[in-house]
Chains A and B, each alone.
Chain A
Amino acid sequence: MLNKRLKSFFSDYSIIIIFAAMVLILAMIKPQFIGPSNIISMVRQVSLIGILSMGMMLVIINGGVDLSGGAQIALASVVCSVFAQEMNNNLFLAILCPILVGLFCGLINGFLITIPKIPAFIATLGVTNIAKGMALLFCNGQPIQVVNETILWLGSYRIGGGAWAMPVLILIFLLCAVLNHILLTKSHFGKKVFALGGNEQAARVCGISVERTRMIVYLLISVYAAISGILISGRVGAGATSNGVEYHLDAIASCVIGGVSMKGGVGNVLGVAIGVLIIGALQNGLNIMGVSPYWQQICKGLIIIIAVVMDTIKKGGGE
């Protein structure tokens, strides 16, 4: 009985065990890795990716993918800074406009994927370029310095004192994760997202509006991207077209490492959050050890591949 329980614990939470082992090894090589300041900075480093990952997991569970997430972050960041700069400083617009622009991108994605039924990969690839182009137009290709106190506070301030002073960024990531968890497991909408990814035709037979549900999924990831974009402006103090523009790749990687099936229908927030932390720990740990960034890229690639291969083996072959 205990043995069986242990076994199911290991297979259900294998990702936690891998993460724990990774932390342990890194801590043994470089003890400062588990020092409070390093842990905080490591988590803060990946919070923005984490926020996007929350949207990305909705999209992947529903049976799609969104390549435009990174470009939408860049766009949101630029739009935010347009309303948070010296000449034109308006907090309300600096938060509202990035979200509206994000929803616009999500609407295009959702429309293309549900009505003409273009594959998500292609539709979001197209929107990636549109979003990048819009970002360039809004800032005329130049970074815009952010002066709005609140935006800066959101992106780079800490709450509390001492070694464990908590960056606002991490708290927002946590909040997003909790909301996403409730959305996925406790709401109708969440059940419908899983159903859609599990079997679209069966979902239709069960009276679920496939198109509406899918549309909302793409709108939601855009909102997450917009939040990430606003925060990154505050974090780096400027809106720029390069801000977070490749975060969607790490977000997809986090989802996959965290056990979200690319075929849809499978995934949970805890897994994805740990997937995000694994990416963070890897980057941070290798940095501390003085491994060159070139090798870091290779390591990240290997981790993603190993995670997926292990998951496939665990499920018994290509099923």
Chain B
Amino acid sequence: MDHEYILELNHITKTFSGVTVLNDVSLRVRRGTVMGLMGENGAGKSTLMKILQGIYMPTQGEVIFDGKQLKVSNINQALLAGISMIHQEMSPIPDMTVAENIFIGREPDTKFGFVDEKELNAKAEALLKDLNLNFSADTKMRKLTIANMQMVEIAKAISFQSKLIIMDEPTSAITDREVENLFRIIRRLKEKGVTIIYISHKMDEIFKITDEITVLRDGCNAGYGYSKDLTQDSLIKMMVGRTLNDLFPKTVVDIGEEVLRVEGLTLGKYFHDISFSVKKGEIVGFSGLVGAGRSEVMETLYGLRHAESGKIIINGKEVKIKNPHDAIAAGIGFLTEDRKASGIFGPLGITDNIVMPSLGRFQKLGLIKGKRLVSESARMKQELNIKATSLAQKIQFLSGGNQQKALIARWLMNNPQILIVDEPTRGIDVNAKAEIHKKLGELVKEGKAVIMISSEMPEIISMSDRIYVMHEGEMTGELQREEISQERIALLASLTKEQLEACKIKSQGETDYVK
């Protein structure tokens, strides 16, 4: 009784405490095919996949897997039911062998109840051989390349007799040759009747490997088609076809002289030959996919990483920035991407959190001028409308939005001439978001410059005066205010420089995506 569709998701709706993340999403996947799943960050792809893995329960709708209603409530049950997922970020146990990683928790026993090493290795070896892999089952995971770790994950999925394997951005960290190998394995799996859901942002790959493509946008079905019938243009339109709302007001500001110029900044595997400039009164956006190297460029500019080559010029003078202390002295502030990991001091009060980079200003005879410190923090708290019981309240007990506002306050107090903000409004509520946007607008009005990294299209489009787009460590384009559109950004973000060149030659004059 083989059903044509291995998986049918019918009218799935998922809400989290009142917020609808998936709205009436349907998806049908044919047995033994590769279904591409695309959509911007936050479109609902991962929520949908988590429902398949039993991590979330759908609020409404049904999941039919292999002809039966799917009833799983955790990853293990999903594995046993035949659904595996290969994550973008794998978490192998580095000091255990390949065989141990594959069969962890279900090692074959000897008759005395110990682990049967021989049997374990033999079973793993058979799996590896089946996939034509050239390393042995007793290799330590630590010694494998990322691509090979991925292969181990696939071997593990096969060992569970998975009928459906979900691959989330499987090529984000592997080389072109390794991609070819992965595709070879995928085709082989197809022959064996295994079905693949392939999540990716990369256009060329998705056309190469998938049979059908489904696009999600803002938690809804946004498009579907056979890969052979679709084009890059039509896919991009499906992904971004949304009207911009006016949540992000942009204040018009006179643009002044150049305050920062970066020339040919290069850092090994992260990015190379990055050049850009920022003027007073400008908000300069940096767009690109996750992993394009945007954050790494900013971390280098700020002295958290060290460039191999390139120049940083501030107000016409070349500066050497060895560490964040130098960066702050040169007039740069940096609101990092990960609030919890590198932003807040959880157990410290709001005042201490705000003042940390500006301590030097409150010094007298080696001691801190407490009164002025408190009055200035109080002013900041009011100005940014930070909701807290007192200035001494530990920041870890504030909401994400209020924590973020406190971190903005930190840099307003420090008063840098260039403020870098990395995903400034990720995961915070609408009101806090609007307030932060307003503050950034005021800042450039005062003649400061802001560099903004954001993966949220509406935010970066409405806030930026200019946008630089990066793809896999390369600068692929610069868009002036009047040239900015979601389609152009999406195209520049998803192709390499060479692919863009090819694109340009092919479509002479037809499209103006590439300048």
A interface residues (Cβ-Cβ under 8 A, vs B): 182, 186-188, 191-192, 194-195, 197-199, 201-209, 261, 263-266
Q: Find B352's partner among A182, A195, A207, A209 (CB 8 Å cutoff).
A: A195
Instruction: Assess A207 versus B325: contact at CB under 8 Å? Given A188-B368, A195-B352.
Output: yes
Instruction: Assess A208 versus B304: contact at CB under 8 Å? Given A186-B367, A195-B345, A266-B347.
Output: no
Query: Closest Cβ of chain A: how far from B209's Cβ, in Å?
Result: 38
Query: Closest Cβ of chain B: how far from A9's Cβ, in Å?
Result: 15
> Could you pull out 24 A-B pairs where Cβ atoms are within 8 angstroms?
A182-B367, A186-B370, A187-B366, A187-B367, A188-B363, A188-B366, A191-B355, A198-B346, A199-B342, A199-B344, A199-B346, A202-B341, A202-B343, A202-B356, A203-B356, A204-B324, A205-B324, A205-B342, A205-B343, A206-B324, A207-B327, A209-B323, A263-B347, A264-B347
Is B328 on the interface with A (CB-CB < 8 A)?
yes
Q: Which of A195, A198, A203 has the most CB of B within 10 A?
A: A198
Asked if A191 and B368 make an inter-chain contact with CB atoms under 8 angstroms apart, the answer reads yes
20 additional contacts, CB 8 Å, given A191-B359, A195-B356? Answer: A182-B367, A188-B366, A188-B368, A191-B355, A194-B348, A194-B352, A195-B345, A195-B348, A197-B347, A198-B346, A199-B341, A202-B341, A204-B342, A205-B334, A205-B342, A206-B410, A207-B325, A207-B328, A208-B356, A266-B347
Nearest residue in A to B303 (C-beta to C-beta)?
A: A207
**A198 to B343 alpha-carbon distance, docked (Å):** 10
Could you say which residues of chain B place their CB within 8 Å of the CB of A187?
366-368
Asked if A205 and B304 make an inter-chain contact with CB atoms under 8 angstroms apart, the answer reads yes
Q: Which of B304, B336, B341, B367 has the most CB of A within 10 A?
A: B367
Asked if B347 and A191 make an inter-chain contact with CB atoms under 8 angstroms apart, the answer reads no
Nearest residue in B to A266 (C-beta to C-beta)?
A: B347
Could you say which residues of chain A place their CB within 8 Å of the CB of B347?
197-198, 261, 263-266
Q: Find B348's partner among A201, A209, A265 (CB 8 Å cutoff).
A: A265
Could you say which residues of chain B place their CB within 8 Å of the CB of A263?
347
Asked if A201 and B325 make an inter-chain contact with CB atoms under 8 angstroms apart, the answer reads no
**A264 to B346 alpha-carbon distance, docked (Å):** 10
Nearest residue in A to B334 (C-beta to C-beta)?
A: A205
Asked if A204 and B356 make an inter-chain contact with CB atoms under 8 angstroms apart, the answer reads no
Asked if A206 and B370 make an inter-chain contact with CB atoms under 8 angstroms apart, the answer reads no
Asked if A201 and B345 make an inter-chain contact with CB atoms under 8 angstroms apart, the answer reads no
- Per-residue contact bits, chain B 320-361, to A (CB 8 Å; 1 contact, 0 not): 000111011100001010000111111110001001110110
Q: Which of B336, B359, B366 has the most CB of A within 10 A?
A: B359
**A263 to B352 alpha-carbon distance, docked (Å):** 18
**A205 to B368 alpha-carbon distance, docked (Å):** 21
Instruction: Assess A209 versus B325: contact at CB under 8 Å? Given A199-B346, A202-B344.
Output: yes
Query: Closest Cβ of chain A: how far from B394's Cβ, in Å?
Result: 9
User: Total A-B residue pairs with C-beta atoms closer than 8 Å?
Assistant: 82
Chain B contacts with A in 362-382, Cβ cutoff 8 A:
363, 366-368, 370
Query: Closest Cβ of chain B: how far from A4's Cβ, in Å?
Result: 10
Could you say which residues of chain A place their CB within 8 Å of the CB of B327?
207
Q: Find A265's partner among B302, B345, B370, B410 (CB 8 Å cutoff).
A: B345
Query: Closest Cβ of chain A: how far from B304's Cβ, in Å?
Result: 7
Chain B contacts with A in 224-258, Cβ cutoff 8 A:
none
Q: Find B345's partner among A182, A198, A207, A209 (CB 8 Å cutoff).
A: A198
Could you say which residues of chain B place their CB within 8 Å of the CB of A197?
347
Query: Closest Cβ of chain B: how far from A188's Cβ, in Å?
Result: 5
Query: Closest Cβ of chain A: how far from B485's Cβ, in Å?
Result: 34
Instruction: Assess A188 versus B334: contact at CB under 8 Å? Given A198-B345, A198-B347, A265-B346.
Output: no
Asked if B336 and A205 make an inter-chain contact with CB atoms under 8 angstroms apart, the answer reads yes
Could you say which residues of chain A place their CB within 8 Å of the CB of B356?
191, 195, 202-203, 206, 208
**A197 to B352 alpha-carbon distance, docked (Å):** 13
**A310 to B360 alpha-carbon distance, docked (Å):** 38
Asked if B304 and A202 make an inter-chain contact with CB atoms under 8 angstroms apart, the answer reads no
Could you say which residues of chain A place their CB within 8 Å of the CB of B324?
204-207
**A101 to B410 alpha-carbon distance, docked (Å):** 41
**A206 to B329 alpha-carbon distance, docked (Å):** 11
**A286 to B424 alpha-carbon distance, docked (Å):** 58
Query: Closest Cβ of chain A: how far from B102's Cβ, in Å?
Result: 32
**A188 to B323 alpha-carbon distance, docked (Å):** 19
Query: Closest Cβ of chain B: how far from A313's Cβ, in Å?
Result: 17
Could you say which residues of chain B place their CB within 8 Å of the CB of A264?
347
**A184 to B368 alpha-carbon distance, docked (Å):** 11
**A266 to B355 alpha-carbon distance, docked (Å):** 17
**A264 to B347 alpha-carbon distance, docked (Å):** 9
Could you say which residues of chain A place their CB within 8 Å of the CB of B346?
198-199, 265
Nearest residue in A to B356 (C-beta to C-beta)?
A: A206
Nearest residue in A to B346 (C-beta to C-beta)?
A: A198
**A263 to B346 alpha-carbon distance, docked (Å):** 11
Q: Which of A182, A191, A194, A208 has the most CB of B within 10 A?
A: A191
Query: Closest Cβ of chain B: how far from A1's Cβ, in Å?
Result: 13
**A209 to B360 alpha-carbon distance, docked (Å):** 13
Asked if A201 and B342 make an inter-chain contact with CB atoms under 8 angstroms apart, the answer reads yes
Could you say which residues of chain A place their CB within 8 Å of the CB of B343?
199, 202, 205
Asked if A199 and B345 make an inter-chain contact with CB atoms under 8 angstroms apart, the answer reads yes
Query: Closest Cβ of chain B: how far from A57's Cβ, in Å?
Result: 14
Could you say which residues of chain B place their CB within 8 Å of the CB of A209?
323, 325
Asked if A186 and B368 make an inter-chain contact with CB atoms under 8 angstroms apart, the answer reads yes
**A319 to B348 alpha-carbon distance, docked (Å):** 15
Asked if A207 and B357 make an inter-chain contact with CB atoms under 8 angstroms apart, the answer reads yes
Could you say which residues of chain B place their CB within 8 Å of the CB of A188?
359-360, 363, 366, 368
Could you say which residues of chain A place their CB within 8 Å of the CB of B302?
205
Query: Closest Cβ of chain B: how far from A31's Cβ, in Å?
Result: 41
**A307 to B334 alpha-carbon distance, docked (Å):** 40
Query: Closest Cβ of chain A: how far from B239's Cβ, in Å?
Result: 33
Could you say which residues of chain A place their CB within 8 Å of the CB of B341?
199, 201-202
**A207 to B370 alpha-carbon distance, docked (Å):** 21
Asked if B342 and A191 make an inter-chain contact with CB atoms under 8 angstroms apart, the answer reads no
Nearest residue in A to B360 (C-beta to C-beta)?
A: A188
Could you say which residues of chain A place their CB within 8 Å of the CB of B345?
194-195, 198-199, 202-203, 265
**A196 to B342 alpha-carbon distance, docked (Å):** 11
Query: Closest Cβ of chain B: how far from A67's Cβ, in Å?
Result: 24
Sorted from nearest, which 10 A-B pairs have the closest CB atoms? A198-B345, A265-B347, A201-B342, A206-B356, A207-B325, A206-B357, A207-B328, A207-B324, A186-B367, A266-B347
**A182 to B370 alpha-carbon distance, docked (Å):** 12
**A194 to B359 alpha-carbon distance, docked (Å):** 13
Nearest residue in A to B329 (C-beta to C-beta)?
A: A207
Could you say which residues of chain A place their CB within 8 Å of the CB of B334?
205
Nearest residue in B to A319 (C-beta to C-beta)?
A: B396
